[in-house]
Structure 1
């Protein structure tokens, strides 16, 4: 079994998303950073809401993408400010990150 570890990130997409599906409002999205094009990275988008997905919801989303938390991994959260070019006032952005492993043991 491969011991390759990937990084997953979750963030609130304040203006919605265009990929993998279009949303018209704020929603949380988790993606797994891998080799290749960003547009090809596994991503899961929750329905439009600004409520932070629960730990169980995050695990379910990662599982649906084919990943699980790496051994001993815990979500780490940071705050940042959104970009000034957005069409709304600059505000705090909450970003989560965690180490994950492939459920089937394959490498990217």
Structure 2
């Protein structure tokens, strides 16, 4: 597996989940579930989780945060936070 991918992190069922989006494949996306729902996992926590999955942030990449709503088109809906960063396979992993 070579190239760059997008890793995303969001909450689901009260816990933070980090996953690497693999397009054009039927393979299961690599994912990591953090043991807590809050606070947001630290940068170190996220990098360590990516490492376990065999990925690392692309040099100079930064986490980008966006918000969505739990119920589309409902302004009173709870907010969902989604973070994303560009990643690559770690050297020597999956190459």
Q: TM-score, normalised by structure 1?
A: 0.74
Deviations along 1:18-39, whole A, 9 cap, x unmatched? xxxxxxxx0000000113237x
For residue 48 of structure 1, report the CA deviation from its aligned partner: 3.5
Number of equivalences: 89
Determine helix, strand or coil for the equivalent of 1:59: helix
Counterpart residue number, 2:7: 8
Q: Partners in 2 of 1:41 and 1:75 — Cα distance?
A: 19
Contact 1:12 1:50 in 2 (8 A): no
Counterpart residue number, 2:32: 44
Segments of structure 1 that go 5 or more residues without pairing to the other structure are: 17-25
Q: TM-score, normalised by structure 2?
A: 0.83
Deviations along 1:6-26, whole A, 9 cap, x unmatched? 00000011xx2xxxxxxxxx0
Once superposed, which parts of structure 1, at least 4 consecutive aligned residues long, lie more than 4 Å away?
none
Counterpart residue number, 2:67: 79
Counterpart residue number, 1:20: none
Structure whose residues are more often strand by fraction: 2
Contact 1:10 1:96 in 2 (8 A): yes
